Structures are given as structure tokens and as C-alpha cells.
Structure 1
Amino acid sequence: MIVRITDYGKMQDKNFVDYSVSGLTSSQMEFLNINLEEETEIDGDVFKLKMYFDDRLFPFQSDVAHFRLDDFIAREEIEMNVFLSSFLEDM
């Protein structure tokens, strides 16, 4: 499974992060699409996920994030990979 952040920011006063996940089987994508509460979409062989965060939890709001953006993106991608992997264990 490969998780990539494709976009992040603020939209309609909500902080969001868009993830693109590849390397999943169609049954894994269907399982995630049905069982996750977040906004999800299957686009061919890519699973897309949009998560919303309040200001307190949004990972890209700090000043440190602006100076070490690549580190923050990599950490978020790893954390989402771990989350999805553990979620798929229930499949």
C-alpha cells in the first residue's frame, strides 16, 4: 500500500487533507469505501480519502510544519498507512 497526500489546506472554514492510496485490491478498496466514515472514492485502481480536522489537530498549521513540510507530509502518510493497514485487519 502506498499512501500519498495529494492536497491539504482550508476549504469552507474546514481544514482538510486529501490522500491517494494505491496498491490495494478492489475488495480492500470496497471495504474501506463502505466502512470508513470519512469522504471516500474509488477512482480506477486508486482509493481516495478526504479527512477534515479541527484547528487543534490539523497537522499543517504550525510554524514548524512550514519549515519542515516534507517531514510533516511523510509522517502523515506513514500514519495514514498504519491506520488503513490496521483497519483492513478487520476485513
Structure 2
Amino acid sequence: MIVNIVDYGEKDGKKFIEYMVSGLSFGQLSYLNNHLDEEIAIDGDNLILTMYFDEKLYPFQSDVAKIRIDDFIAREEIEMNMFLSGFLEDM
């Protein structure tokens, strides 16, 4: 499974991060689509997952994040990979 952040920022007054998840089997893709509560779309073999955050919990809001955004993006991608891997263990 490969997780990439493809977009982030503010949409409709809410902070968001959009992840593209690739490398999933059809069963894994279906399981995540049917069991995650977040906004989900399927684009071919990829899962597009959009998560919305309260201002206080948005990971890219700090001054340090703005300076070292690549580090913060990489950390978020790793954390989402771990979350989805754990979630798929229940499959």
C-alpha cells in the first residue's frame, strides 16, 4: 500500500487533507470503501480519502509545518499508512 497526500488546505471553511491510496487489492479497496466513515472516492485502482480536521488538530497549521512542509507531509503519509494497515487487519 502506498499513501500519498495529493491536496490539503481549506475547503468550505474546513481544514482538510486528501490522500490517494494505491497498491490495494480489490478486496481491501472494497473493505475500506464500505467501512471507513470519512469521505471516500474510488478512482480506478486508487482510493481517494478526504479527512477534515478541527483547526486545533490540523497537522499543517504550525509555523514549523509551514517551513518544513515536506517533513510534515511525509509524517502524515506514514501515519495514514499505519492507520489503514491496522484497519485492514480487521478485514
**Coarse TM-score class (shorter-chain normalised):** over 0.9
Give me the whole-angstrom Cα distance separating, in 2, the residues matched to 1:45 and 1:15: 26
SS at match of 1:24: coil
Kindly provide the amino acid, as one letter, of the partner of residue 79 in structure 1.
Answer: E
Q: 2:39 corresponds to which residue?
A: 39
Corresponding residue of 1:82: 82
DSSP-derived class of the 2:21 partner: strand
Unaligned runs of 5+ in 1: none
State the Cα deviation string for residues 1-42 of structure 1 (Å, max 9, x = none): 000000000111100000000000011010000000000111
**1:53-68 alignment runs, 5 A limit:** 53-68=53-68
Deviant stretches of 4+, over 3 Å: none
- Counting only pairs closer than 5 Å after superposition, residues 21-32 of structure 1 correspond to structure 2 as 21-32=21-32
Give the TM-score taking structure 1 as reference length: 0.98
SS of residue paired to 1:72: helix
2-structure distance, mates of 1:26, 1:41: 14
Normalised TM-score (structure 2)? 0.98
Q: Kindly provide the amino acid, as one letter, of the partner of residue 87 in structure 2.
A: F
Q: Which residue does 1:6 correspond to in 2?
A: 6
Structure 2 residue runs without a partner (length 5+): none
Task: Give the aligned CA root-mean-square deviation in angstroms.
Answer: 0.4
Identity level (%) = 64
